[in-house]
Structure 1
Amino acid sequence: MSQTTPRTVLVTGGTSGIGRAIAELFAADGDDVVLTGRHPDTVERTAAELSARGVVCDATDPTQVAALAAGLPEVHVLVNAAGGLPDPAPDHLPPLDALLAGWQANLAQNLLTAVLTTTAVRPALAPGGSVISIGSIGAERRGGAYGASKAALAAWNAALSAELGPLGVTANVIAAGYVEGTNFFRGALTPERRAALIAETHTNRPGTPADIAHTAHFLASPGARHLTGQTLHLNGGAHTTR
């Protein structure tokens, strides 16, 4: 359903996987979508394919994030989808240095991208707006540095919700389970591991980027205006709460 007045929707990490699916859904809804990514070629191509605006921005770089925010006088929906598994630390590093580099990279990509972007665009967030961050089931189980960074994302979101609530802006996390159609595993997922991940679900299927996109779309809808400060576990039942 198209909006009477198009909203400005900012999607970080919007050139592939979950971020792209979210950007595509909002663009199809008639919204003015601004998607970001680190690589100019993929940003330009994806923006053209989705009829969106593309901005090259490394969301771990405060200078680039500030420049992004300066070009957005009003934002109705912010989706923090940038993140993922960072590249391994260089082999030449001593073990503790390599460990530190890995943890710092995970925190930068999966927590600080959201913190920096949200803080930079906060003055532009419109009343009735939404901040949606993409978390992970890894925060609940054996997630290592990646899981810890996503757990920190959820903790930060709870505080963010309290700050933004009086402004009429909601803040929620979608904690995704196993999602096919992304490059998260970088081709390293074995058939056995894939089968095990699907077997954990109640729905007997993997998640899709569209599953995440439609949940994000709901969180930005009038029907979710009293839903804030939450982590929504979208994993087909692989992790349940009560």
Structure 2
Amino acid sequence: MPRTVLITGGTSGIGLATAARFAADGADVTVTGRRQETVERAAKELGVRGVVCDATETGQIEALAARLGETLDVLVNAAGGLPPAVSDDGSPLDAVRAQWETNWAQNLMTAVLTTTAVRDKLAPGGTVISIGSIGAERGGGAYGAAKAALAAWNAFLSAELGPRGVTANVISSGYVENTNFFGDRMTRERHDALVAETHNKRAGRPEEIAETAFFLASPGARHITGQTIHVNGGAFTTR
């Protein structure tokens, strides 16, 4: 039987590359996204199932879970991103609050809510993978704080799911090109500065994050759980 795989935020960038990797292995893949047109395009491109679902909306997540089969082998929480700046109209405190709440919703709660909705479907030998960020380690502001919280929650999740034979890990990515993350805020100067921070002097690629996710869902990674795996070309190192 093919593995069943759910990838939120699977219509572009890291999520799309991850969906392509699992689909190439013959998995039964479902991708989600917020917009009908992007979901349909990704599903057609990869030959997978597509479901429109805003992973910040509980009703849509519950509907998604109801559409899935009885068991799920792999969940990849790739939904998230860098929200646009909040308008400075009104109270400055309201703007700060809105910025933090938006980041919290998109970069933490998407993973928490989706995982909670499908956790009873996770089969022994299954895995939960959440996409984190180097921003959790330095200068990330509201976005970085949300990704740091994601890693903390993952450790809790791993302890809960471990007795069932399910692993849970975070892939903390550095600068990855060919995604929609920065939008029009990426300049040549910023690109060069981020590349200069790496040891191998290049940006990451979505396919490299996808390969890491594929490994974490493989038999060779069954004793890796509760971890944050840094994939950043050496821009941030641990020891």
Q: Which range, TM-score by smaller chain?
A: over 0.9
What is the alpha-carbon distance in structure 1 between the residues aligned to residue 212 and residue 32 of structure 2? 20
Cα drift, residue 71 of structure 1: 1.4
SS in 2 for 1:171: strand
User: What is the aligned counterpart of 1:136 among 120, 133, 145?
Assistant: 133
What is the alpha-carbon distance in structure 2 between the residues aligned to residue 93 and residue 221 of structure 1? 50
User: What is the aligned counterpart of 2:184 among 167, 182, 187?
Assistant: 187
Identify the residue that residue 11 of structure 1 maps to in structure 2: 7
Identify the residue that residue 103 of structure 1 maps to in structure 2: 100
Give the paired residue count.
238
User: What is the aligned counterpart of 1:90 among 81, 87, 102?
Assistant: 87
Q: Determine whether 1:63 maps to 2:59.
A: yes
Q: Determine whether 1:34 maps to 2:30.
A: yes
TM-score normalised by structure 1 residue count: 0.97
Corresponding letter in the other structure for 1:69: A
Structural mapping, 1:1-242, within 5 Å: 5-72=1-68, 73-242=70-239
Q: CA RMSD in A?
A: 0.7
SS in 2 for 1:187: helix
What is the alpha-carbon distance in structure 2 between the residues aligned to residue 22 and residue 222 of structure 1? 17
Corresponding letter in the other structure for 2:111: A
What is the alpha-carbon distance in structure 2 between the residues aligned to residue 91 and residue 159 of structure 1? 36
What is the alpha-carbon distance in structure 2 between the residues aligned to residue 93 and residue 172 of structure 1? 40
| Percent identity over paired residues | 71
What is the alpha-carbon distance in structure 2 between the residues aligned to residue 49 and residue 165 of structure 1? 35
Corresponding letter in the other structure for 1:8: T
What is the alpha-carbon distance in structure 2 between the residues aligned to residue 39 and residue 154 of structure 1? 27
Extract unaligned runs of 5+ from structure 2: none
SS in 2 for 1:68: helix
Q: How far does the alpha carbon of each residue in 1:183-204 deviate from its partner, in whole angstroms, 9 at most, with x for none? A: 1110221211111111111111
Greater alpha carbon shift after TM alignment, 75-84 vs 183-192: 183-192
SS in 1 for 2:183: coil
Extract unaligned runs of 5+ from structure 1: none
Q: How far does the alpha carbon of each residue in 1:181-239 deviate from its partner, in whole angstroms, 9 at most, with x for none? A: 10111022121111111111111110000010000000000000000000001000000
Q: How far does the alpha carbon of each residue in 1:71-124 deviate from its partner, in whole angstroms, 9 at most, with x for none? A: 112110000000001122233231000000000000000000000000000010
